[in-house]
Amino acid sequence: MYLDSSYPTAVFCIIATEFCERLSFCGLRTILSIYLRNILLFSEDTATIIYHIFIMICYIIPLIGAICADSFFGRYRTIRNFSLIYLLGNLLMCVAAIPVLDHNPTLMSGIGLLLVAIGTGGLKPCVAAFGAEQFHLPEQSDLLRYFFSIFYFTINLGGFVGMILTPVMRKAVTCFGDDTCYALGFGFPAVLMLISILLFILGKSFYKMKIPKRNIMVEFAKCSSYALIKKCKTPKSQARGRHWLDYSRKKFDQKLIYDMKIVFAILLVFVPVPLFWSLFDQQGSRWTFQASHMNGNIFGVQVVPDQMQVINPAMVLVMIPIFDKLLYPCCEKINVFKNPLHRMAFGGLAAGLSFFAAGLLELKLEKSYPQLPGKRQASVNIINTLPCSIIISSPFRRLQVLDAEKILRFQNLKCHNKTLYNLRVKAPIECHNLRLNKEEFEVTALLQELQEDSFLIGVDDHHQVKGYISEAVDFSTSISGAPKFRVDFVKNTNTLEDVTVSLTSTSGLEDVYFVGDQPNKTTIIVSPYIEIPQGVFECKISSKTRSELFLKKFHFSLGGVYSLIVRENKGEIKFVKLFTMSDPNSVNILWQLPQYFLISVAEIMFGVAGLEFSFTQAPKSMKTVTIAAWYLSSAVGNLFVIIITQINFFESQAHEFFMFAILIVIDMMVFMEIASKYSFVELEVDSSALIANIPNKPVTNEENIEEEDE
């Protein structure tokens, strides 16, 4: 005997297992992109592609897990076996992050990520279905509905804790001589996965377990292919009004055909679903990039862009009980949100509103973005490193006064491939403490299409005004939103040897830039851009023979792009100034809260309802398959994002956000049309399903027919 109002003990073991698994996965995923870029040294674009491919595999493998569970091993053994693969992948990631070992970290990380993707993918369709089948139906159908909310709550709680703990452990601990410890960051998820496996195995005595008696997926494929072939061979006049699966009635079991009709009806409902996940999964890419352009200072605490992803699971954790206990019961009294499809449709519209809000915010942010040169255009920054004002005559503008230590920006100049511009510079012979050999000089600037270059006005050791073209300014903001910094060092002589420019933060963090010796006396040396923490740094310039040539403190703000211009002449530092090439972020990151609130509402109504619909409507023999199809829609959604990103429809990110908002509204209209023709099934204790007695609402769009004529 059992009490209808009590949850089966097995459910708690399964929920605890899911909590540990989600904590492990989300913790690994949170630090993955930074690991790919900072440790394995992939570019940001390549790291992003690897990240999305990893997520796609995670959502494609559920189909394989479903086949294993429904056709070969059953859900218990499938979960156990894929968990062991998952654990092995975690361990490989941990070992790959240990730099003192003699191994190929890129190859080992790739294998580890593949095993993690296979492991978590194989688990996804099985855990929810295995937990749901522990209930006695239909007596515990109400508890089953709340189970999916609790299950989704557990997913978000595990993700929330993992997204907070794992990055903290990576940053707070130093190991193997590095200031971060990725080995611990990946080792922690491995320990959690081990705990997850132990909890799952300990609950074995409580589980209701079923071993497949037949290979349902093989029968599914055979029946589908046979029916399609028969339909194609049948004249159209005889095929009218028949469901295409009915052509297999002579050869296959009636129950199998009926169950397949239900599954195909569910799959038809899933057709518009991938677009929702296209929007939802952009929290980790587009929305994070948007946050990197914003000011993360909240009441004196600095929030970095990737930490904003925590807002979504946090909101979901708070709102799930509110929706289940307050909103849904009230709505059902007024005949609203009565079934999962109603909730899914509203959730899709809420996702559209979230992207509309993101688009409005992006329009505000775009006003502060640097204006980059377009096709057949170039821009140039002219920087005066002389101690006096100069007059510049150029094709851009007839005469322009440029004061000492100032910068002039000329934008959108005509440039095809590479274009040479001649500039005339007029400076007084007595230029402060510098004496020039004449008043007028001619310098040339070679500009390159699509670039914004820096042109430094200096002087050589013959007191001749000279121009130095630096490398292009890189305005792209890092995924963390950290300040970007480089050094432009103008050498007039080789008097100074082993020149270094060091930045030391108040916490003791130090970055050192080496200015190598060059064979030519007069040259410019440019360091690559690096990311540094925001805050105050002490800048010191030194050489082999002199420990301190220059000392000053600079402040760096999130989102800013900085160039430290240094000019040396005859062994002395004559000019040092930090120029802000791109202004720091000014719009506060809290303005993202409305879009995160809306996407969280969308996730609760769409995600929870979708899982519930996938399980409750599927035949007993194919429940894992329908849940796998649900997860597969997320993989297709990620593919949409990659394709749209690569096509690059719009130059404005705001316009792309608005496009997604419009597409999801159209998509939900299609979804509602399909959903309106779907007939819900009622589960019974020992049978797969019975059609609800709803007149004129068939399982599929076509009417059922009697036995096929001989």
Q: What is the pLDDT of residues 285-329, one digit of tens each?
A: 788 888 888 988 888 887 777 778 889 888 988 998 898 888 888
- 675-692: average pLDDT: 60
Rounded (5°) CA angle 378-379-380: 130
Quick check: pTM over 0.85? no
Task: Tell me the pLDDT tens digit for each residue of 244-258.
Answer: 888 888 888 888 888
Q: Order of strands across the sheet with 550-556? A: 510-515, 499-505, 535-542, 550-556
Write the DSSP symbol of residue 591: G
Residue 558 identity (one-letter amino acid): L
Phi and psi (nearest 5°) for 681? -105, 155
**Cross-sheet strand order for the sheet of 407-414:** 407-414, 377-384, 452-459, 465-469
Q: Give yes or no for residue 393 having a pLDDT over 70.
A: yes
Instruction: Report whether pLDDT(705) > 50.
Output: no
Helix (H, G, I), strand (E, B) or coil at 419: strand
In the prediction, which pLDDT does 167 show? Answer: 77
Pairing of strands 452-459, 465-469: antiparallel
- 373: Cβ contacts below 8 Å, ≥ 6 apart: 379, 411, 412, 413, 415, 449, 450, 451, 452
User: Considering the chain, what is the average pLDDT of its residues?
Assistant: 83
Q: How many Å apart are CA 366 and CA 702, to the nearest integer?
A: 50
Count CB neighbours of 437 within 10 A: 11
At residue 697 the predicted structure's pLDDT band, cuts being 50, 70 and 90, is very low
Domains of the chain: 1-213 (1.20.1250.20), 218-368+586-710 (1.20.1250.20), 377-582 (2.60.40.1120)
Taking a C-beta distance cutoff of 8 angstroms, is the pair 516, 477 a contact?
A: no
Mean local confidence (pLDDT), 183-209: 86
Work out the number of other CB atoms within 10 angstroms of the CB of residue 232: 10
**Token pair belonging to 4:** 């209808």
Q: How many residues in total does the chain contain?
A: 710
Mean pLDDT highest for which of 128-132, 240-244, 686-690?
Answer: 128-132
Q: How many CB atoms lie within 10 A of CB 5?
A: 9
CA separation for the pair 227, 223 (Å, rounded): 6
- In eight-state DSSP terms, residue 429 is S
CA torsion sign, 5 to 10 to 16 to 19? negative
Q: In the prediction, which pLDDT does 348 show? A: 95
Q: How confident is the model at residue 177 (pLDDT cuts 50, 70, 90)?
A: low
What distances in angstroms separate CA 562 from CA 443, 530, 665, one per listed residue?
25, 10, 42
Band the pLDDT of 626: cuts 50, 70, 90: confident
Q: Ramachandran region of residue 695, left (φ > 0), alpha (ψ -120 to 50) or beta?
A: beta
CA angle, 72 then 73 then 79, to 5°: 135
**Secondary structure (3-state) at 601:** helix
Select from 72, 80, 67, 84 the least CA-distant residue to 125. 67
CA atoms within 13 A on the CB side of 333: 5
400-402 and 390-393 beta bridge pairing: antiparallel
Q: Which residues are within 8 A (CB) of 244 and not within 5 positions of it... i.e. 6 or more apart? A: 227, 228, 231, 702
Helix (H) or strand (E) holding 488: strand 484-491
| Cβ atoms within 10 Å, residue 239 | 15
Contact 109, 143 (CB under 8 A): no
What does DSSP say about strands 561-569 and 550-556: parallel, antiparallel, or unpaired?
unpaired
Q: In percent, how much of the chain has pLDDT > 70?
A: 91
Residue type, 133: E
Please say if the pLDDT value at position 695 is more than 50.
no
573 pLDDT more than 50: yes
In the three-class reduction of DSSP (H, G, I as helix; E, B as strand; rest coil), residue 62 is classed as helix
Cβ-based neighbours of 673, under 8 Å, separated by 6 or more = none
444, β-bridge pairs: 422
Among 232-241, 414-423, 664-673, name the most confident range. 664-673
Q: Indicate if the pLDDT at residue 687 is higher than 60.
A: no
How far CA 623 is from CA of 18, 127, 133, 217, 261, in Å, comes to 18, 11, 9, 12, 14
Q: Which amino acid is at 264?
A: F
Kindly report which listed range (232-241, 383-392, 696-705) carries the lowest average pLDDT score. 696-705
Query: Which residues, 6 or more positions from 383, have their beta carbon under 8 angstroms from its beta carbon?
Result: 406, 407, 454, 455, 456, 457, 565, 579
For residue 543, give both structure tokens: 């050489």
8-state DSSP, 604: I
User: Considering just the CA atoms, what is the radius of gyration of the chain in Å?
Assistant: 32
Phi, psi of 441 (to 5 degrees): -140, 155
pLDDT at 495: 77
Confidence of residue 50 (pLDDT cuts 50, 70, 90): confident
Distance CA 457, CA 386 (A): 7
